[in-house]
Each structure stands twice: as structure tokens, then as C-alpha cells.
Amino acid sequence: MSNGAFDQTAWIFISTYLCSLILVGFIGYRARKENTLKDFYLAGNGFGLVVIFLTLYATQYSGNTLFGFSGKAYRIGFAWIMCIHFMTAIVACFLIYAPRLYAYAKKYDFITPTDYLQHRFNSNWINVIATLILVVVLSNYLLAQLMAMGRAMQGLSTVDPDTAYRQGVILLTLIMVVYGTLGGIRAVAWTDVIQGLVLMVGFSFLLYMLYKHFGPISLATNIIQQSPEVAKVNVPDANRLREWLSYIIIIGLGSTLYPQAIQRIYAARSEKVLRQGLALMAFAPLFTSLIAVITGIYAIAYVPGLLGTDTDRVLGIIMSMIQQNSVLGYWLVVILYAAILAAMMSTADSALLSISSMLSKDIYGRFVDSNASEARLTFMGKIFSWCLIIFLVWLAIYLSDKASLIKLLDRKFDILIQLVPAFMLSIHWRGMQALPTFIGIVFGVTLSLYLAFGGFDFVQNGKIYGFHPGLIGLLFNFAIAVLGSLWINKTSNKPLMV
Amino acid sequence: MKRPYWICTVYFVLVAIGIPWYWPAETSLFVLGLPLWVVIAIGVSICASTFTAFLLLRYPWNTEVNSDE
């Protein structure tokens, strides 16, 4: 995409922006109050409203949102409007357990998500499997962000696409790890503030640019209606409608269990701040996901004929077209590219920080060196970050053209959602027992993966009649946890409290 | 604390209206250049966001911590 490449001035702008992130990392390092896990991963007493909202926003809206959502809208048309529903569902699902989890976290000084499980069940088995699931899912998520960084660079550079991809992955990851290692959650959250603001401004510009360059969306809809892609305007078929419902449930529930999301609940300065931050987040899909869908719709009309993983590049292609139109369009695209980099890096840095906290505290601190000091655990967290990121950079380069971003998104939720009973049910039901909860998780994960990868005829595009296999696994998981707990409570003659 | 069944009912109704299962396959109704079923889905999303924000800002949270766990 050499015709979309930036000139020297634009590169200076982008480079200055990226260097400012390292500077923020350094300021975060200077601002640390003590060398403890709580200070490094939760910023001591926590953040106020502006930081909490923008860090939640920048973390939730990622490379998947921008490239994956516009690409999916390009592939299936207006039906992908379902994404604003499931992104809103995430905030609604926080209501199920965030208020009580916040109260627990403040009372018992939780650092990682599994601190709650350890407190609630006191079971190493549940702790290990939950940590394993969260680390695997988050590594998958992180990998998707690294791949998106590479694709973003393909649209910027004049060198060949493969080289641009590799350079993008390595350079952006390096910047991210440096500021994350320096300043911990402070650096991550403060850079999220910059990144969140750039992202919001960039998205507003994108909407304006689409209108200015291509005309009203009615024009795009007319073009699609007169093309072979007319089905992308029609009401989705029954299978797609079931998929719509499935996405609302699986992403609504699953996304609230992302460790970085849970740690942001812990990091809110007060209940009021958390409430207000989440209330603002409830409207975020309308000015983010919706614009990604509109971009995909414009692309169906004006960039027809893309197939496979190329469809995830529609945003870059649309931006290249706008960029060539005028000086204003060119600079708006430069800002938008900064926003895209912001979206990917802010999500990736939060995921990496959460993984390092879990590997350090929940695995190393619990099973390898239980006498390790806080400073030692913080140091080990940084080491784990670097080791993991080196492996994932290699994987991102190896997998560069092998998987669509949305496929990666689909599978990880099938696994993540199996932790719903352990977190959301147990926080309200005191009768829930450790053993059936553990068996439920194992059975749910196994069944979900077996259904997804078992080669069954009734599984099409990774879904069963439109439903994610993870939801089938969750039904059995839920049943095992509830019935098993009821049975244990009954046979042990302990009072069952609900 | 009272169980908030009415909240679940509101969300259930919003989901039932937002997913366009009740529309015929081919519809020629458009508003502002968008198919009507898409406009309704966006409208439902705005309602869901507003309702969720209301719950977050005005509804009392159950923040009881069981100290004997």
C-alpha cells in the first residue's frame, strides 16, 4: 500500500507520539511510592474518574475493534451492527458482580483476579486452572493485538508488506514493554489516557472523513443494493440471528472476566468513581463500534472484492483513499493512524501487565517461592513480561497471514466464559463449593474445545446453529457447579445460605 | 436485598426488540439511508446504554462483604 505511505513530517508526528509514551512510562516510574505489587499493578490507592474511564475505554477498544469489526462488517454487512449490542452488554454484565467484587477487593487487598477465588474457595486447584485459563486467553488476546500492530504498519510504510509487518510488531512491542516495565499500571493507565483521547478524536475524524470523501451512507447503501452484495443489506437469516444472541451472551459475560478489566475494578479510587466510569463506558459502543461498522459498510460499496484475511485490511484501504484526497484528509489520516496504534498498544500493554501479575503472584509467589518479598515478585513479573512478549512477537510474525482476527476473538471467549460460575455465581451464593466448581470448569473447557475442534458436521464456522460452543460448555459447567454444590451441602448437613 | 427481576426483564425486552428476528427477510424500509431494522437496533442500543447508566448511577449496589468466608 505504498500510495498510502506517510511523508517525513507525518513520521515525526507519529514518532513524537510514540516517544511521549516512553516519557509517560518514565514519569510513572518516578511517581511510584513503594516497590510493592499493589503499587506496581494497582497504583496504590487507585485512580480517579478520568483515568478510570479512559483506561477502561482504551483497554476495551482494541485492534480487534478497529480492524476486526470493520472487516467483519465488510464480510457480513449490516448484520454486524450486533457488535454495538454485545459491547453494551459488557457494561451491563459488570453489574452482576463488579459492585461486590469491588467491596471484597478493597477489604482484602486483592491484586489479581484469582485472589478473589483464593479467598472464596481456598483451593489451589481452582486457582491454578483459573490462572491457566486467564493467561492462555490473555496471551491469545495479546497476540491478536501484536498482529494488528503489524498490519497497521503495512498501511504506513513504503517497504514491502512482510518487512513492514515484522518491523511494526517488533518496534511497537518494544516501546510498549519499555514503558510498561518502567511504570507498571501507572504508566499503562496514564498512557491509556493519552491513547483513549487520541482514539476518541480519531474516530470522530473518521466519521467526518467518510462522509466528506464518500458522501452520505445512503449512497453506499444504494450502491450495495445494486451490487451482487445486496444480501448484506437484508435482515440476517435465522442462523445469524442466533449468532447475534450468542455474541451478546458470550462477549457480554466473557469480557467482564478479562483480568485487566477486573484489575481496573480493583484500581478504582472509590465506588462512586467506578460507577461513573462504567456509566460512561455504557455509551462507548455508540461512538466507537458503530463507526467501525459504518466504515465496513462504506468499504463494501467502494472497495469490493476483498476476500479472507484481506478483509481485515479494509480500514487501512479506506484511509489510504481518503489520504490521497486533500492535505486535510492526509493529516486527519495521520491522526487516525496514531489513534489506531493507541488502541492496539493500550489493550496490549494492559493484557501484558495482567499476565505478568498473575504469573508472578499466583504461580511464582504461591508455588515456587512462597517467601518471596514484594520487590522480588514485582521484579519477577517484569522478567515474565519480557520472556512472554519475546515468544509472542515470534508467534505474531510466524502467524502473520494464517488467521483472521475475528477467529482468534471467537475461540478465546469459549474458554474464558467457563469462569463465569466461579466469579459471578460464587459471589452471590455462599453455598457454592470448590470441588464441583473445579469439575465444572474442567468439563466446560473440555467440551467447548471438543465441540469447536472435533470436526463435527453440526459445527459450522466454529458455531453450533449460530451458538458458540462455549455456551454449551457453560450450561454443563453451570449445572455441575450448582447441582454438585447442592448435593455436598445436603450431605454435609451444612446450612445452605443464598 | 430485593432480587432485581425487573432489571432482567427490561434487558430481556431490549434484546428481544434489538435482534431483528421479527422482520421479513427482504425489507425495503429505509431511514436516513439505513435499513429500518438497523435503525431500531441502534435505537435499542441507545436505550440499553441509558438504562445501564441509570442503574450504575442511581440504583443501590449490593456491596455486602461476608467476613466469615
pLDDT per position as a tens digit, A342-399: 778 878 888 888 899 999 988 999 889 888 888 898 889 889 989 999 999 998 888 8
Type of residue at A435: L
Please name the residue that has the C-alpha cell 500492530: A149
- pTM (predicted TM-score): 0.89
Phi, psi of A463 (to 5 degrees): -130, 155
Query: Which pLDDT score is estimated for A94?
Result: 93
Coil, helix or strand at residue A464: strand
Q: Are A244 and A82 in contact (CB under 8 A)?
A: yes
User: A 87-106 residues with CB below 8 A of B?
Assistant: 88-89, 91-92, 95, 99-100, 102-104
Q: Which residues contact A10 (CB under 8 A, 6 or more apart)?
A: A330, A331, A334
Mean of pLDDT values over A234-247: 94
Query: Which pLDDT score is estimated for A64?
Result: 66
* Chain A CB contacts of B34 below 8 Å: 78, 217-218, 221
**All three cell numbers of A372:** 518471596
Alpha-carbon gap, residue B32 to A362, rounded angstroms: 53
CA-closest candidate to residue A179, choices A38, A396, A18: A18
Alpha-carbon distance B17 to nearest alpha carbon in chain A (angstroms): 11
pLDDT per position as a tens digit, A390-425: 999 998 888 876 655 545 555 789 999 999 999 999
Q: Give how far the C-alpha of residue A390 lies from the chain's centroid of Cα atoms, to the nearest Å.
A: 20
Alpha-carbon gap, residue A347 to A342, rounded angstroms: 8
**All three cell numbers of A459:** 459445527
What is the architecture, at CATH level 2, of domain A2-402?
Up-down Bundle (1.20)
ipTM score for this prediction: 0.93
If you average pLDDT over every residue of chain A, what do you get? 87
Position with higher pLDDT, B45 vs A55: B45
Query: Which pLDDT score is estimated for A497?
Result: 44
Sequence ranges of the domains in chain A: 2-402, 429-498
Is the minimum CB–CB distance between A219 and chain B shorter than 8 Å?
yes
CB pair distance less than 8 Å for A216 and B41:
no
* Chain A CB contacts of B42 below 8 Å: 81, 84, 286, 290
Phi, psi of A428 (to 5 degrees): -105, -20
* Angle in degrees, CA A458, A478, A144, rounded to 5: 60
Q: Which residues contact A475 (CB under 8 A, 6 or more apart)?
A: none
Q: What percent of chain A has pLDDT over 70?
A: 94
Alpha-carbon gap, residue A478 to A30, rounded angstroms: 46
